[in-house]
Amino acid sequence: MLGHFADFKKMPKADFKVDLDLVDSIAKRVHQRISYYRYFHGIHLVQPRQAAMQAYWVLRYHPLRTLPKWDHEFDVNVHFAFYVLFAGSMREPIENCPKEKQPIVLNYVLGEYQGEYLRAFSEYDISKEAMMLMSDSIKSIVKAEIKNHA
């Protein structure tokens, strides 16, 4: 996923440093949350909500670093969390969109909402449940835009 994120940000993958211990901790936390919802609530967390959990823990643990030349550009963990959330949330609806419409829909949704999500990730303490609602919102927005561009 980091390779796709690097492409999305138009950066060389080598400019990222990953703390593998923190990535392992994130994977464990996500797995614990999936197990918790299954055991205590009888709910299976679908892919978009799993992506929300991953994004939540990325914001908490900050597993990524960039080379110093990128430090002034953006907060890599905030942007990566958004990428994880967006990619996981839009996967299902965009697969049902005609191929020629996919770039139009994705560019529109990114242009309209990316800034708001990045600002929220930077400025607010977002709970796990709120992150899952954000994932549901992205999925609904993408579905609506597919209908609008049909």
Mean pLDDT of the chain: 92
Q: Residue 143 — very low, low, confident or very high, per pLDDT cuts 50/70/90?
A: very high
pLDDT over 90 percentage in the chain: 76
> pLDDT for 33-52, tens place per residue?
999 999 999 999 999 999 99
DSSP per residue over 51-89, as a string? HHHHHHHHHHH--EEE-GGGTTT--HHHHHHHHHHHHHH
| Per-residue pLDDT at 1 | 79
Instruction: Kindly tell me if the per-residue pLDDT of 133 is higher than 90.
Output: yes
Rounded average pLDDT over 107-116? 93
Instruction: Kindly tell me if the per-residue pLDDT of 149 is higher than 90.
Output: no
Instruction: Kindly tell me if the per-residue pLDDT of 59 is higher than 90.
Output: yes
Its pTM stands at: 0.91
Please state the domain extents for the chain.
2-148
Instruction: Kindly tell me if the per-residue pLDDT of 73 is higher than 80.
Output: no
Q: Which residues pair with 66 in a beta bridge?
A: 16
| Per-residue pLDDT at 32 | 96
Instruction: Kindly tell me if the per-residue pLDDT of 74 is higher than 90.
Output: no
